Amino acid sequence: MTETARQFMAEFFTSFTREITADGSDPGPVVDRYYTPDIVQTADGIRIDRERLVAHIRPVRKNLADFAFEVHEALRDGERIAARFTIHATDRRGRRTATEVHLFGELAPDGRIRRTHQLSRTIKDPGAEGKSPRGKAASKEGDGL
């Protein structure tokens, strides 16, 4: 059975986030398993290379208590990928946030992410009253290939 674009995105971000929050060790090796060494993410106009991505992970892993990725749509054409998803997060103080992300990216042949352009916005979290299982990957709409 072939993996759909939505499954790929949900599993990619869920497993990456699980691994980076698993312990306090150096996040560099985890980043290298999921991203190429020449990774460039442009997130809301801010350019992030590998070094900045690793630096960004340190406070995330310290503060993140629970998370789920809800992939609404995703398309993949060879090494190109596009997705719209929501990140649901709960910090260690119990505060919940939801962030909608629109991502356009390029994958390396081995499935690691090489480049992304992302636009994001904080949205009202409709599930704020309920608690999602840690690291849940969810998707409700049809898959795109």
Crossing angle of helices 5-21 and 50-63, in 10° steps, is 70
- Map residue 62 onto helix, strand or coil: helix
Residue 143 placed within a domain: no
CA angle 128, 125, 98 (to 5 degrees): 115
Tokens coding 86: 């929501």
- Tens of each residue's pLDDT in the chain, 145 residues: 457 999 999 999 999 999 999 888 889 999 999 999 999 999 999 999 999 999 999 888 889 999 999 999 999 999 999 999 999 999 999 999 999 999 999 999 999 999 999 999 999 865 555 444 445 555 444 444 3
Q: Which domain holds residue 118?
A: 5-138
Residue 57 placed within a domain: yes
Residue 144 placed within a domain: no
Domain count, the chain: 1
Q: Domain with 55 in it: what CATH number?
A: 3.10.450.50
Residue 27 placed within a domain: yes
Q: Quote the pTM value.
A: 0.82
Residue 145 placed within a domain: no
